[in-house]
């Protein structure tokens, strides 16, 4: 199976449709599959449910899909850097399923592991737990959270081999390994494609069995909040 595609748009071909659920790796602007997001925008797919830690910023990342009104619902844990997200949510144009950060990571991991649901103490007694089943274990109350299974997962890796084995670089690892496992089809945007067998098996973060498509891109590496010292 040839997993390497010539361009982000080619990598999306045949798997993108209106109304689907897309899991997207990254945290802020760190480790986001930026070129795949651009290709998704250009595909014109709409009514999307986007599962991601956050919605990027107004002019980059998933913020680009908010500008074009292609996202119907966000499943996120942090949304404080995007004014357009705030505007759409406050006006009722955008649905939000607010999820604690660790819970969101575990929901994606569970989806990839074949676990349909799990119990956690996080969110008990808050609006996050409203309407969800509760159960007591050892005298403590827990809330049930459903696993997330996406139609397509988009992730960003540092290195990959033709089999789809992925290595993420430092903090760009963040949500990418969990997102990579929960998609029916996982597409990895990578900075470097290396020969098969050249990756140390002990250093592989996501095994190739989870990855169906790969595309090599050049990253822009934007800075979300630039902080400099006074000269």
- Asked if residue 117 is part of any domain, the answer here is no
Residue 16, pLDDT > 80, answer yes
Report d(CA 91, CA 103) in Å as an integer.
27
* Adjacent-strand bridge partners of 187: 154, 213
- Asked if residue 145 is part of any domain, the answer here is no
Region of 68 please: left (phi>0), alpha (psi -120 to 50) or beta. alpha
Q: Which residues, in sequence order, are CB contacts of 183 under 8 Å at separation 6+?
A: 23, 149, 150, 151, 152, 153
Q: What is the pLDDT of residues 159-213, one digit of tens each?
A: 999 999 999 999 999 999 999 999 999 999 999 999 999 999 999 999 999 999 9
Q: Which residues, in sequence order, are CB contacts of 15 under 8 Å at separation 6+?
A: 151, 152, 185, 187
Number of domains in the chain: 1
Give the pLDDT confidence score for residue 216 in this predicted structure: 97
Residue 48, pLDDT > 80, answer yes
DSSP secondary structure letter of residue 206: B
Report d(CA 20, CA 183) in Å as an integer.
11
Reported confidence tier of residue 224, pLDDT bands at 50, 70, 90: confident
- Asked if residue 136 is part of any domain, the answer here is no
Contact present, 166 and 156 (Cβ < 8 Å): no
Domain of 158? 4-111+150-216
Helix, strand, coil percent values for the chain (each to nearest 5): 25, 30, 45
Q: What is the pLDDT of residues 98-113, one digit of tens each?
A: 999 999 999 999 999 9
- Asked if residue 170 is part of any domain, the answer here is yes
- Asked if residue 173 is part of any domain, the answer here is yes
Strands 166-167, 150-160: pairing is antiparallel
Where helices occur in 44-157 by DSSP H, the ranges are 63-67, 83-90, 101-113
Give the pLDDT confidence score for residue 81 in this predicted structure: 77
Residue 225, pLDDT > 80, answer no
Residues in the chain: 231
Q: What is the mean pLDDT of residues 124-142?
A: 96
- Asked if residue 208 is part of any domain, the answer here is yes
Q: Residue 87's domain is classified under what CATH number?
A: 3.40.1080.10
Q: What is the mean pLDDT of residues 34-41?
A: 96
Where helices occur in 48-100 by DSSP H, the ranges are 63-67, 83-90
- Asked if residue 78 is part of any domain, the answer here is yes
Q: What's the predicted TM-score (pTM) here?
A: 0.93
- Asked if residue 122 is part of any domain, the answer here is no
């Amino acid at each position: 199976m040839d997993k390497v595609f010539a361009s982000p748009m080619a990598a999306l071909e045949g798997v993108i449709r209106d109304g689907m659920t897309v899991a997207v790796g990254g945290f802020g602007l760190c480790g986001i599959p930026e070129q795949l997001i651009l290709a998704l925008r250009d595909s014109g797919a709409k009514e999307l449910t986007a599962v991601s830690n956050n919605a990027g910023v107004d002019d980059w990342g998933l913020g680009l899909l908010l500008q074009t009104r292609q996202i119907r619902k966000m499943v996120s844990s942090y949304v404080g850097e995007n004014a357009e997200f705030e505007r759409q949510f406050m006006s009722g144009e955008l649905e939000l399923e607010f999820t604690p950060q660790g819970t969101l990571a575990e929901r994606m991991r569970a989806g990839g592991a074949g676990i349909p649901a799990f119990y956690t103490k996080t969110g008990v007694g808050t609006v996050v737990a409203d309407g969800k089943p509760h159960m007591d274990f050892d005298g403590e109350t827990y809330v049930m959270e459903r696993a997330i299974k996406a139609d397509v997962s988009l992730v960003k890796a540092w290195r990959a081999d033709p089999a789809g084995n992925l290595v993420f670089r430092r903090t760009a690892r963040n949500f990418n390994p969990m997102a990579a496992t929960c998609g029916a089809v996982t597409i990895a945007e990578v900075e470097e494609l290396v020969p098969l067998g050249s990756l140390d098996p002990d250093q592989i973060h996501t095994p190739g069995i989870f990855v169906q498509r790969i595309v090599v891109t050049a990253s822009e590496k934007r800075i979300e909040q630039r902080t400099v010292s006074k000269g």
